[in-house]
Amino acid sequence: MNNFEFSLPTQVLFGKGQEENLPERLKPYGTKILMTYGGGSIKKNGLYDKLKNLLKDFEIFELGGIDPNPRVESVNEGARICRENGIDMILAVGGGSTIDCSKAIAAAAYYEGNAWDLVIGKGKITNALPLAVVLTIAATGSETDAAAVISNEKTNEKLLLGHPLLLPKVSVLNPENTFTVPAYQTAAGSSDMMSHVIEAYFDNIEAFVPDAISEGLLRAAIKYTPIAIKEPDNYEARAQLMWTSSLALNNLTETGKSFMWSCHYIEHELSAFYDITHGAGLAMITPKWMRYILSDKTVDKFCDYAANVWGFSRELDKFELANKGIDATEEFFKNIGMPMTLGEFGIDDSKFDVMAENAVKNGYLNMAYVPLTPSDVKEILKMCL
C-alpha cells in the first residue's frame, strides 16, 4: 500500500424522508439559496414542489435546464445569478450533471472572468459557495466527491475541475427519489459506478482491503441493477445502488493505490464530440479496454476479478478464467440495455485521431495501469466499431 490521507467531510443523510432535515442543515449558511436542477424530471415527480415547500422560509432563486454533460454557459449563468443576488448557498437537485454544474458555479461565483478559465487552469479557485445536494440518480458519486466535469461545445472539450472547496457540505440520499429514473439511465448510472470501481481496482499496487471493498461494490451493482430496472420502485435495490454509487468514487476504493484513469478519459472524448450518455459510453469501452490490456503481466489481476466478482472457478486455466470475467462484464452491460458498439451511438471513425490524442493528453494515459499511447486508444476505439 502507498501512503494516503482519507477523509469524507460531506455529511450524508441517507434514507426515506431525509429531505426534511434540510432546513435545519442549511440554516447556518444563510437565507438565500440558488436551487439548480436539470431538464424537468424533478418537476414531473413532485420533488421540486416538495423541496420548495420544505424550504419556504428561505429565499429561493432558480437555475433549471442544466443539460446532461453540463455546459460552461450554465456555469456562467449560475455564477451571474449568485453574484447579482448575493446568494449564500447552492442546492443542487439532480444527478452528476446538475451537481457538477453547481460545483463549478460555487467556485465561479468568486471569479469575475469566464468560468472556463477555472476548468483549464487559467484562473484559480480561491473560494466557493457552500453546496448542498439532493441526489436523484445513482451514478457518478459527485454527491460525495470534490470533482466536476464541465463541457465546452465550442472547443469540443469535456474536462475535469477538482478542488477540496467543491465538496458538498451535505448530501441527501433518499433512494425513493430515484424511483422515476428510466431504465436506460439506471443502467448507465450502474455502468458508471462499476467503471469507477474497476478503474481503481486494476492497479499495480497491492491493496487487499480496498480491493475487497471494490469486489463487494461490484457484486452489489451486478445484483441490484437488473432488479431496479425491472422494478423501478424497489426500495432495497435503489438503496443499494445509491450507496454503491457514493462509495465507488469517494476515495475509499483508491486508498493506498496509484489510481490512474483509463476508460473515463476515452469516454470523455466521445461525450465531448458526440454528447453521449457518460455511463453508456463506459459500458461499451470498458470490456474492450479489458481485452486490449489482458497480457501475461495483467492476467493475475483479471483472475482475481473473474473469481471474486463473477464467481468463476480458480481451477480454470488463467487466461480462460480472465476471459470469462471479461465476457461476463460485456454480457452484463449488454443485458441491462447498454449499447456495445459506436454504431449504436451513430458514431464513426472520423474523429478517432483527435480523440485518441486528447484522451492521452488530458488523462495522462501514458501513466495508466497499462500505459496507453494514442495508437493504443485508437485500437480500443476500433474494437468498438
Enumerate binding residues for Zn ion (CB under 5 A).
192
User: In the bound complex, what is the minimum distance in angstroms from residue 318's beta carbon to ligand NZQ?
Assistant: 31
Question: Cα-flanking dihedrals φ and ψ of residue 179, to 5°?
Answer: -60, -30
Q: Which helix (H) or strand (E) holds 101?
A: helix 96-108
Strand order in the sheet with 59-63: 11-14, 170-173, 131-135, 89-94, 32-37, 59-63
User: In the bound complex, what is the minimum distance in angstroms from residue 264's beta carbon to Zn ion?
Assistant: 6
User: In the bound complex, what is the minimum distance in angstroms from residue 192's beta carbon to ligand NZQ?
Assistant: 6
User: In the bound complex, what is the minimum distance in angstroms from residue 128's beta carbon to ligand NZQ?
Assistant: 14
Compute the distance between CA of residue 203 and CA of residue 302 in angstroms, rounded to an integer.
11
Among 114, 136, 246, 286, indicate the residue that binds ligand NZQ (CB under 6 A).
136
Among 76, 98, 244, 251, indicate the residue that binds ligand NZQ (CB under 6 A).
98
Compute the distance between CA of residue 302 and CA of residue 189 in angstroms, rounded to an integer.
23
DSSP state of 143: G
Whichever of 68 and 374 has its CB closer to ligand NZQ, that residue is: 68
User: In the bound complex, what is the minimum distance in angstroms from residue 319's beta carbon to ligand NZQ?
Assistant: 30
Compute the distance between CA of residue 383 and CA of residue 336 in angstroms, rounded to an integer.
20
Window contacting ligand NZQ (CB under 6 A); options: 113-121, 133-141, 202-210, 372-380:
133-141
3-state secondary structure string across 315-367: CCCHHHHHHHHHHHHHHHHHHCCCCCCHHHHCCCCCCHHHHHHHHHHHHCHHH
Q: Does 74 bind ligand NZQ (CB under 6 A)?
A: no
Compute the distance between CA of residue 322 and CA of residue 302 in angstroms, rounded to an integer.
5
User: In the bound complex, what is the minimum distance in angstroms from residue 119's beta carbon to ligand NZQ?
Assistant: 13
Residue pair 288/338 in contact (Cβ under 8 Å)? The answer is no
Compute the distance between CA of residue 321 and CA of residue 312 in angstroms, rounded to an integer.
7
Q: Where are the beta strands (DSSP E) in 167-313?
A: 170-173
Whichever of 31 and 180 has its CB closer to ligand NZQ, that residue is: 180
Q: Which of 48, 103, 108, 100 is closest to 82 using CA atoms?
A: 108
User: In the bound complex, what is the minimum distance in angstroms from residue 330's beta carbon to Zn ion?
Assistant: 18
Q: Does 363 bind ligand NZQ (CB under 6 A)?
A: no
Whichever of 29 and 261 has its CB closer to Zn ion, that residue is: 261
Residue pair 82/129 in contact (Cβ under 8 Å)? The answer is yes
Site for ligand NZQ in 41-70 (CB under 6 A): 41, 45, 68-69
Among 249, 284, 355, 377, indicate the residue that binds ligand NZQ (CB under 6 A).
249
Find where cell 487552469 sits: 121
Q: Does 142 bind ligand NZQ (CB under 6 A)?
A: yes
Q: Does 145 bind ligand NZQ (CB under 6 A)?
A: yes
Find where cell 486508444 sits: 377
Is residue 312 exposed (0-12), middle (13-18) or buried (19+ Cβ within 10 Å)?
Answer: buried
Three-state secondary-structure class, residue 373: coil
Among 36, 63, 89, 96, indicate the residue that binds ligand NZQ (CB under 6 A).
96
Q: Does 18 bind ligand NZQ (CB under 6 A)?
A: no
Question: Binding-site residue total for ligand NZQ (CB under 6 A)?
Answer: 34
Site for ligand NZQ in 250-269 (CB under 6 A): 264
Q: Does 228 bind ligand NZQ (CB under 6 A)?
A: no
Q: Does 40 bind ligand NZQ (CB under 6 A)?
A: yes
If contact means CB under 5 to 8 A according to the sort of partner, which of Zn ion, ligand NZQ, none does residue 98 touch? Answer: ligand NZQ
Binding residues (CB under 6 A) for ligand NZQ: these are: 38-41, 45, 68-69, 94-98, 100, 136-137, 139-142, 145, 147-149, 177-178, 180-181, 185, 189, 192, 249, 264, 278-279
